Structure 1
Amino acid sequence: MGTIEKDDEGLGYGSSLPVPSVQEIVRNDAQNIPERYVKNLEDRSKSSDICPVSNDIPIIDVFLLANGDEDERQKLDIACQEWGFFQIVNHGADDALKKMKAAEADFFDLPLSDKMKYAMASNDVEGYGQGYVVSEDQKLDWNDLLFLITSPSSSRNIKYWPLIIPGFKEAIDEYAIEIERVRDEILRNLSLLMGEKEDFLKQLHGDVKQGMRMNYYPSCARPDLVLGVSPHSDCTSITLLLQDDHLTALQIKHEGLWVPVNPIPNAIVVNIGDVLEAWSNGKYKSIEHRAVTNVEKPRISAATFVIPGNEVELNPLETMLDDDDRPAIFKNGVKYIDYLRYTLAKKMEGKLANIEYLKLEN
């Protein structure tokens, strides 16, 4: 079935066991759901857990942020506090989005034998495969992925880049540059909201990297039995996600219910990660999210993670502390690399399992 084999080179951040390609499973037998992908009853998506409306999800205008609009900045503040999540429009990257989606689709259209040339190494999370597979008996998600470090260019491991696809590298280059620009605008405004200078959060990241996870979710004959991605929060500072414009699959946990995120054409989804929750001492909340599947057609998405330098500490900022009103609830001295390795060594099982590692004991 095309189980992805690996070699022994890699980043050393973590690893994920080789598993069959879900895309190939569906190609060979679209009606059969292998038992390893059938989620336990308590982990499946249920209609009773779904919020019927998603109209309240915040929408932030990047053009207004970039022009110093104070009302838009306050909307950003509220979105990060109450939702941990928002969609951004008027970001000026529409053309790069289109090229990025086309390049990703071209990769997953390759024959399996070609995709296997970019398989993850045995101690690496970069490359083609599936993430967070840590045991031979855990339930698997209904997706395949390609994970690449996209910037800075000096951190790229080009052996994982499918350069056999014409225009692939150029599309990723252009998209990565546009995402950096949008990322910096968001971090600039968050710095001001956190009582710091404009460039504070960008500098705080140290040797910042961007990692991109390209996701392929095949259609599924029984979407009620599987999940495209299990519930989790992101172990980075912020994530910028490019959704499929026509399929609603992303869901976020808000006030105890799963809220479907209806795509807005050419919008980019942004969510707060665990790192920013720690830096803000819990003022801004990382968001638990998951993806479901559908019967009709496959879906692709691309998530760009903003990754701090290895030695960066996840201490709450002084401006986020107040002995009376906001005492510290997160530890000092936890290095990012240690937190990253901790999260990558576990299967995805919600937010709490990760964030508790960073918190002070009650």
Structure 2
Amino acid sequence: MAGLNEVVPTIDLKEVRDEMLNQQIREASERWGCFKVINHGVSLSLMSEMKKAVTDLHERPHEVKLRNTDVILSSGYKAISELNPLYESFGLFDVASPQAINTFCDKLEASDEQRKIMVNYGKAMDGLAKDLARRLAKSYEVADNDICKEWPCQFRISKYHFKPETVGKNGLILHTDPGFLTIVHGDDDVGGLEAMDPSSGTFFPINTSPNTLTVNLGDMAKIWSNGRLCNVKHRVQCKEAKMRITISTFLLIPMDKVVEPPRAFVDAKHPRLYKPISDGELRKIRLSNNMHDGESLRFVTLK
């Protein structure tokens, strides 16, 4: 396991036996709440094509970008704001659906080639996210039917406007992700992603390298696992004056599905920690109380 002076654990998804691989994913998820993966099955050419396509979409006029509206809560375009003055992003809900991708592309006037790239990328990332979640479940001997069934994935496609005067400032505030897990396709040319060590509260960099993806565990994973998994706190720091493009894939439990930990997580030594709650309800708590870094879980913690 990597220490604070090194990168987070890097897990090779093709090098080890399934049982050992599942255990590595579990250990990293419990200790750090994040890890990196290589040999993940998403081709380097597809990752490069996707990065070029979404970079082009971010060049659209502002009035065109505004056509990307919410499908679910906070799923649409986010313009630069007082809270995040260096950051704007598109949202695309249900990335495994060609229809959803075509609707997104229609509104942003994407080309046929860009549509094809996004459909292929969406299918690949949806498959990878669900494979990682199933491996986590198997490491705890949780039945397959307790996880991933009809779980959607959402894209958050982000552009950071880093300038000389913003070096040293937050590109994205400290936060936890609200969903189950997130796969981050970072920018190989521009770093800045940092995660917090849950044991010490200190930050460590998550360096980006070609054909490597970063996985973060979110709030719903912590609730689902009865506190076993770490919902990692992370942020983006402006390290240099360059444009930064990232593509995040969020694996979500359906918004209206009430989440309780499977029996594997609850026993006499491990009583229930949280009230049953849906992803949608937890998001409303986050938004109404202006909470970003996991504080909303205290509203559903059992006394």
Q: Would the TM-score normalized by the shorter structure come out above 0.5?
A: yes
Query: Is 1:213 the equivalent of 2:156?
Result: yes
Distance 1:123 1:274, change over 3 A: closer
Query: Is 1:109 the equivalent of 2:59?
Result: yes
Q: Structure 1 residues 229-238 or 54-63, which shifts more? A: 54-63
Residue equivalent to 2:148: 202
Residue equivalent to 1:59: 10
Residue equivalent to 2:284: 341
TM-score of the pair, normalised by structure 1: 0.74
Q: Distance in 2 between matches of 1:359 and 1:168?
A: 44
Give percent identity, aligned residues only: 21
Q: Distance in 2 between matches of 1:182 and 1:123?
A: 23
SS of structure 2 residue aligned to 1:202: coil
Residue equivalent to 1:74: 23
Q: Distance in 1 between matches of 2:139 and 2:210?
A: 28
Q: Distance in 2 between matches of 1:187 and 1:81?
A: 13
Residue equivalent to 1:140: 84
| Residue identity matched to 2:207 | N
Alignment of 1:171-182 (within 5 A): 171-182=117-128
Q: Distance in 1 between matches of 2:79 and 2:62?
A: 14
Residue equivalent to 2:274: 330
Q: Distance in 1 between matches of 2:182 and 2:271?
A: 27
Alignment of 1:296-311 (within 5 A): 296-311=241-256
Judge conservation of contact 1:253–1:289 (CA < 8 Å) in 2: yes
Judge conservation of contact 1:149–1:155 (CA < 8 Å) in 2: no
Alignment of 1:161-176 (within 5 A): 161=105, 162-176=108-122
Distance 1:119 1:185, change over 3 A: closer
Q: Distance in 2 between matches of 1:348 and 1:237?
A: 17
TM-score of the pair, normalised by structure 2: 0.88
Judge conservation of contact 2:50–2:117 (CA < 8 Å) in 1: yes
Post-superposition offset of 1:84: 0.5
Q: Distance in 2 between matches of 1:96 and 1:283?
A: 34
Q: Distance in 2 between matches of 1:284 and 1:295?
A: 33
Alignment of 1:18-167 (within 5 A): 54-64=5-15, 68-94=17-43, 95-116=45-66, 118-120=67-69, 125-130=74-79, 139-153=83-97, 156=100, 159-161=103-105, 162-167=108-113
Between the two proteins, the alignment pairs up a number of residues equal to 296
Judge conservation of contact 1:220–1:294 (CA < 8 Å) in 2: no
Residue equivalent to 2:226: 281
SS of structure 2 residue aligned to 1:356: helix
Q: Distance in 1 between matches of 2:70 and 2:220?
A: 26
| 1:280-339 C-alpha deviation (Å, 9 max, x unpaired) | 11111110111112443110001111111123122122110121x2222111x3122211
Distance 1:54 1:165, change over 3 A: farther
Post-superposition offset of 1:91: 0.9
Q: Distance in 2 between matches of 1:338 and 1:123?
A: 12
Post-superposition offset of 1:344: 3.7
Q: Distance in 2 between matches of 1:236 and 1:100?
A: 23
Structure 2: stretches of 5+ with no match in the other structure: none
Q: Distance in 1 between matches of 2:132 and 2:109?
A: 31
Bigger Rg, structure 1 or 2: 1
Judge conservation of contact 1:130–1:143 (CA < 8 Å) in 2: yes
Distance 1:335 1:54, change over 3 A: same
Post-superposition offset of 1:113: 4.4
